[in-house]
Chain A
Amino acid sequence: MVEQTVQIVSNERNTDLYFLLVVRAPKIAPLVQPGQFAHIRILPLREALLRRPFSIFQVEGDTFSILYKAVGKGTEALSRMRPGEELSAIGPLGHGFTVPQPGGETPLLVAGGYGMAAMYLLAQRSPQKGTVFVGGRRRVDILCEDEFRALGWDVRATTEDGSHGEKGLVTLPLIAELNRGKARRRLFACGPTPMLKAVGKIAEEFKVPAELSMDEHMCCGVGVCLTCVIPVKAGEGWEYQRTCTEGPVFDARQVVWEVPK
């Protein structure tokens, strides 16, 4: 991990909901592994002190990019920043996805909305092409389909309102796919917690390994403050582990969804 001042190359509305931020970060960009994140301090924020964590979307030369929605104080201030302005970034951070080995399991990616951004590098660096299942509420929630297709991946979209792709939840075509073939497969998922929980359950039923990128509110991002912990199996019981350090990607079998009282 490195802390450096990064310069904004571009920061534009990418879709109706999302912005694409590209920054020049020569120390961070070459180190990025799929599933890792950058912890960004948005300097124009005065009263809001903390850095904001963002999954790294693409890496190109000495730049990396993130996709974000302007939903809070931090991302709204970020969306008003212009090329040439500077941010402070610490990265790359966290334990990411396991990149498939040549001749290994076929990767099946499951993304909920914005989760797509965190999985692009995995698809790009995987020697095996696979299928990516992407779901959202409406058409506008579905991101990056073209980018994944350009990598030669099969993209299967679902929306809850049926405005794009198949109508229903992203887990429907996933289950259909798992029922179909017998080839060795590995699931990778990033999205809202209920989706991750459903994918974890499906992986268990089909006895398929799964890696889940867990989403938990973060503070320091480097393992110090113990804000972003989730319950994880340990020995006979469980313990709190850090999403920023032991995660964000965890083996689905290790995640404890219901903590015993």
Chain B
Amino acid sequence: MGGAEVNLSVQIGKLTLQNPVTVASGTFGYGVEYAQLVDLNQLGAIVVKGIRLGPVRGNPTPRTVEVASGLINAIGLQGPGVDGFIKKYWPFLKELKVPTIINIWGTTVEEYAEVARCFDALGGVGALELNVSCPNIKEGGAQFGTDCKLLSQVVAACRKATTLPLITKMSPNVVSIAPYAKAAEEAGSDALAVTNSYPAMAIDIETRRPKLANVTGGLTGPCIKPIAIKLVWEAAKSVKIPIIGMGGIQNAADAVEFMMAGAAAVAVGTANFYEPQTALQVITGLREYMQRHGLTDTRQIVGSVLVEK
């Protein structure tokens, strides 16, 4: 098809991504699981599953349920903790050509800061994503993302603890995202990830029991895309820092839509579970879209939605 060369690179704080397509935390493990199926070095970045200081056992099963065009999950952030991650997964990740973004969480502001310090000291980490929006754990997670004051404290404490770029992963479970987005920006976040899963529930009508052991979970997949697009649009209007948009992306057209709403980069999430090649297909399709429209830089797309008035 030819056409002009396109510049896909994106800046997140001091971190440069070779292209704007990343993967959503919790949908790509620690990268190594997909190494046989996906050329990891083609991605913009790998975002690993949420990590707190110590190991986490996670919720009882059933942990996920398929719904129309989506998935509800309540995994409960099962994970190896900081030391387990460094021992088991970091030797593989640090050799990749693409940056690793580590999603971190805690049950106190101090724990977030401590985890941030650990990864700052590790060296070679691309950025930290602050998970203040997981709906499936009793302590920590969404309680920090739905309280402006706590959100500011978490971001500020992590800002003090590390010079790594900070991405705050926003909760969708708020009346208006603008004040939260501003609070994260003012506290020193370099970017926002919009959005996490939506609180949801499904019931087995034969047994009258919830389909998840945790009763409720977080809804993701194509069914949340239109509401995530709106959140990105609102967040983008209220801050100057870049936004990583996510929620049901299945192809390049979905990614372009998020970018037009204001996302500088995107993340493929639930689609990884059924089509591991999705992120790579999005990169190829994005390049083709840009060539077809005579665009040479992704910044020509970001926030370009035409809204009257």
The answer to whether A90 has its CB under 8 Å from any CB of chain B is: yes
Least Cβ–Cβ distance between B211 and chain A, in angstroms: 10
Which secondary structure characterizes the binding site on chain A? loop
Chain B residues lying within 8 Å of A240, measured Cβ to Cβ, are 57-58, 78
Q: Does A41 lie within 8 Å of B57, measured CB to CB?
A: no
In the complex, A227 Cα to B66 Cα: how many Å?
A: 11
In the complex, A229 Cα to B76 Cα: how many Å?
A: 12
Q: Report A219-261 residues with CB < 8 Å from chain B CB.
A: 219-220, 222-230, 239-240, 245, 259
Chain A residues lying within 8 Å of B285, measured Cβ to Cβ, are none
Q: Does B64 lie within 8 Å of A217, measured CB to CB?
A: yes
In the complex, A224 Cα to B33 Cα: how many Å?
A: 6
Q: Does A226 lie within 8 Å of B75, measured CB to CB?
A: yes
Q: Does A2 lie within 8 Å of B36, measured CB to CB?
A: yes
Least Cβ–Cβ distance between B23 and chain A, in angstroms: 10
Q: Does B274 lie within 8 Å of A51, measured CB to CB?
A: yes
Chain A residues lying within 8 Å of B28, measured Cβ to Cβ, are 224
Q: Does A217 lie within 8 Å of B61, measured CB to CB?
A: yes
Q: Does B58 lie within 8 Å of A222, measured CB to CB?
A: no
Q: Does B58 lie within 8 Å of A47, measured CB to CB?
A: no
Least Cβ–Cβ distance between B74 and chain A, in angstroms: 10
Q: Does A227 lie within 8 Å of B272, measured CB to CB?
A: no
The answer to whether B207 has its CB under 8 Å from any CB of chain A is: no
Chain B residues lying within 8 Å of A229, measured Cβ to Cβ, are 58, 61, 63, 78
Q: Does B36 lie within 8 Å of A225, measured CB to CB?
A: no
Q: Does A49 lie within 8 Å of B36, measured CB to CB?
A: no
Chain B: interface residue count, which band? Answer: 20 to 34
The answer to whether A177 has its CB under 8 Å from any CB of chain B is: no
The answer to whether A208 has its CB under 8 Å from any CB of chain B is: no
Q: Does B57 lie within 8 Å of A224, measured CB to CB?
A: no
Q: Does A225 lie within 8 Å of B27, measured CB to CB?
A: yes
The answer to whether A48 has its CB under 8 Å from any CB of chain B is: yes
The answer to whether A70 has its CB under 8 Å from any CB of chain B is: no
Given A222-B276, A227-B63, A239 contacting B57 (CB threshold 8 A) = yes
Chain A residues lying within 8 Å of B270, measured Cβ to Cβ, are 49
Choice from A217, A222, A226 contacting B34 with Cβ under 8 Å = A222
Least Cβ–Cβ distance between B65 and chain A, in angstroms: 8
Q: Does B273 lie within 8 Å of A216, measured CB to CB?
A: no
The answer to whether B222 has its CB under 8 Å from any CB of chain A is: yes
Which secondary structure characterizes the binding site on chain B? loop
Residue of B nearest to A227 (CB): B64
The answer to whether B70 has its CB under 8 Å from any CB of chain A is: yes
Chain A residues lying within 8 Å of B69, measured Cβ to Cβ, are 46-47, 49
B15-27, CB under 8 A of A: which get 1 and which 0?
0000000000011
Residues of A in contact (CB 8 Å), total 29
Least Cβ–Cβ distance between B12 and chain A, in angstroms: 23
Given A223-B29, A226-B75, A229-B78, A49 contacting B221 (CB threshold 8 A) = yes
Q: Does B75 lie within 8 Å of A225, measured CB to CB?
A: yes
In the complex, A107 Cα to B274 Cα: how many Å?
A: 36
Chain B residues lying within 8 Å of A239, measured Cβ to Cβ, are 57
Given A217-B61, A226-B58, A3 contacting B66 (CB threshold 8 A) = no
Chain B residues lying within 8 Å of A41, measured Cβ to Cβ, are 274-275
Least Cβ–Cβ distance between B40 and chain A, in angstroms: 13
Given A41-B274, A90-B37, A217-B64, A50 contacting B71 (CB threshold 8 A) = yes
Least Cβ–Cβ distance between B226 and chain A, in angstroms: 15
Least Cβ–Cβ distance between B179 and chain A, in angstroms: 33
Q: Does B71 lie within 8 Å of A219, measured CB to CB?
A: yes
The answer to whether B205 has its CB under 8 Å from any CB of chain A is: no
New A-B contacts (16) at CB < 8 Å, excluding given A49-B222, A51-B273, A220-B274: A2-B36, A3-B37, A3-B276, A47-B68, A49-B71, A49-B221, A49-B271, A49-B273, A219-B71, A219-B273, A223-B29, A223-B33, A225-B73, A226-B78, A229-B63, A240-B57
**What are 19 residue pairs bridging A and B, where the CB atoms are less than 8 Å apart in the complex?**
A1-B36, A1-B37, A47-B68, A47-B69, A49-B273, A50-B66, A50-B71, A90-B276, A216-B61, A219-B66, A222-B276, A223-B33, A224-B29, A225-B64, A225-B75, A227-B61, A227-B63, A227-B64, A229-B78
| B contacts, CB < 8 Å to A | 26-29, 33-34, 36-37, 57-58, 60-64, 66, 68-71, 73, 75, 78, 221-222, 270-277
